[in-house]
């Protein structure tokens, strides 16, 4: 039976000669995988490959069966992006965020607040000027929804313990953030998305913080793996 659902595209993978498996995060069912038969031969499929770009926001008419591949009957764009897939910096950030989302959007796990957060922030990224702090703020804000937002009670202290998610007075673990990287972390924790354009920082500090934040995810989110697009992101947007 076909149902309507809103969806964010997480990833695509070629299947057989002319088909795709598309992973989506849906508002109604959580993570779902869909088999798109014959989509790589346009004359044999009513769906178009171009619909399924990274983090595209779609309205689907599709089947749903927990733990199994589903099928899409209809798909259309809910929100047509103006810049996410056309501006080089934003395009690289979008690919990076899609990799992160593919790991934290779990199959068959309903999470409406997470879906709404992702949808809202993608809209923000699309409609505002590119800011090199956006992906860092995104990662920090996402931890609040995932349950391991940093404890800022003592954020005046000179170290941040990645293992415990707290600020400390001493280097209690080799896994910590300090110096300029810590200053940027603290600033971002207290800066709303709408005020990111007021921030100034060095690209080496942003890159260092990005690496540390991904380590933070690895410590606190089960089976969080290496992000393949990290190096490209650091090279392209690390100005």
Q: 168, 161 in Cβ contact below 8 A?
A: yes
pTM here is 0.94
Number of domains in the chain: 2
Separation of alpha carbons 239 and 236, rounded Å: 8
Are both 139 and 232 inside the same structural domain?
A: yes
Name, in order, each residue with C-beta under 8 angstroms of 53's C-beta and a sequence gap of 6 or more: 9, 85
Give residue-wise pLDDT tens across range 61-108.
Answer: 999 988 899 999 999 999 999 999 999 999 999 999 999 999 999 999
Cα distances (Å, whole numbers) of residue 230 to 77, 135, 205, 219: 28, 11, 15, 18
Domain assignment present for residue 109? The answer is no
Q: From 193, 28, 20, select the one nearest 8 (Cα to Cα).
A: 28
The answer to whether residues 63 and 136 belong to one domain is no
- Whether residue 120 is contained in a domain is answered as no
Start-to-end CA span in the chain (Å): 50
| Pairing status of strand 176-177 against strand 3-15 | unpaired
Q: pLDDT at position 223, please?
A: 93
Q: In terms of domains, do 69 and 146 share one? A: no
Q: Is residue 177 part of a domain?
A: yes
In DSSP terms, 104 is beta-bridged to: none
Question: Is 137 contained in some domain?
Answer: yes
Residue 46's pLDDT is: 79
* DSSP per-residue codes, 34-81: EEETTTTSGGG-SS-GGGG-TT-EEEEEE---TTS-B-EEEEEEEE--
Q: Are residues 230 and 145 in the same domain?
A: yes
What local confidence, expressed as pLDDT, does residue 188 receive? 98
Q: What is the pLDDT of residue 239?
A: 47
Within a 10 A sphere around the Cβ of 189, how many other Cβ atoms?
A: 15
Domain of residue 188 covers: 131-237
Residues 72 and 136 in one domain: no
CATH of the domain at 21: 2.40.50.140
Predicted confidence at residue 238, as pLDDT, reads 57
Torsion of CA 88, 142, 12, 209, to 10 degrees: 50
Query: What angle, 0 to 180 degrees and rounded to 10, lies between the N-to-C axes of helices 203-220 and 134-146?
Result: 20
- The torsion angle over the Cα atoms of residues 19, 21, 22 and 27, rounded to 10 degrees, is 120
Q: Is the C-alpha dihedral spanning 52, 55, 59, 63 positive or negative?
A: positive
Distance of alpha carbon 84 from alpha carbon 104, whole angstroms: 21
Same domain, 159 and 233: yes
User: Is residue 68 situated within a structural domain?
Assistant: yes
Question: Is 222 a domain residue?
Answer: yes
Q: Give the single-character DSSP code of 151.
A: B
Q: What is the mean pLDDT of each run of 10 residues along the chain (239 residues)?
A: 95 92 96 93 81 97 92 95 95 97 94 97 97 97 98 96 96 92 98 96 94 97 94 77
Residue 186 lies in a domain: yes
In a domain, 195, yes or no: yes
Tokens of 196: 């990111």
State the pLDDT at residue 67.
87
pLDDT of residue 17: 87
φ, ψ (nearest 5 deg) of residue 88: -55, -50
């Amino acid at each position: 039976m076909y149902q309507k659902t809103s969806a964010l595209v997480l990833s695509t993978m070629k299947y057989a000669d002319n088909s795709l498996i598309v992973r989506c995060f849906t508002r109604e069912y959580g993570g779902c995988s869909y088999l798109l038969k014959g989509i790589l031969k346009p004359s044999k499929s009513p769906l178009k490959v171009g619909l399924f770009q990274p983090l595209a926001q779609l309205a689907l008419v599709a089947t749903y069966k927990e733990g199994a591949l589903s099928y899409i009957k209809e798909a259309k764009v809910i929100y047509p992006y103006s810049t996410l897939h056309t501006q080089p910096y934003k395009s690289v950030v979008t690919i990076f965020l899609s990799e992160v989302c593919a790991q934290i959007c779990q199959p068959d796990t309903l999470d409406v607040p997470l879906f709404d957060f992702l949808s809202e922030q993608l809209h923000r990224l699309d409609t505002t000027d590119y800011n090199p702090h956006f992906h860092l703020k995104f990662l920090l804000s996402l931890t609040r929804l995932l349950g391991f937002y940093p404890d800022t009670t003592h954020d005046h202290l000179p170290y941040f313990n990645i293992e415990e998610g707290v600020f400390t007075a001493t280097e209690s673990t080799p896994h910590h953030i300090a110096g300029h990287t810590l200053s940027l972390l603290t600033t971002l924790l207290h800066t709303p998305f709408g005020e990111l354009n007021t921030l100034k920082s060095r690209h080496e500090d942003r890159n260092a913080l990005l690496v540390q934040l991904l380590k933070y995810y690895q410590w606190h989110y089960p089976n969080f793996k290496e992000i393949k697009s990290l190096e490209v992101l650091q090279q392209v947007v690390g100005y």
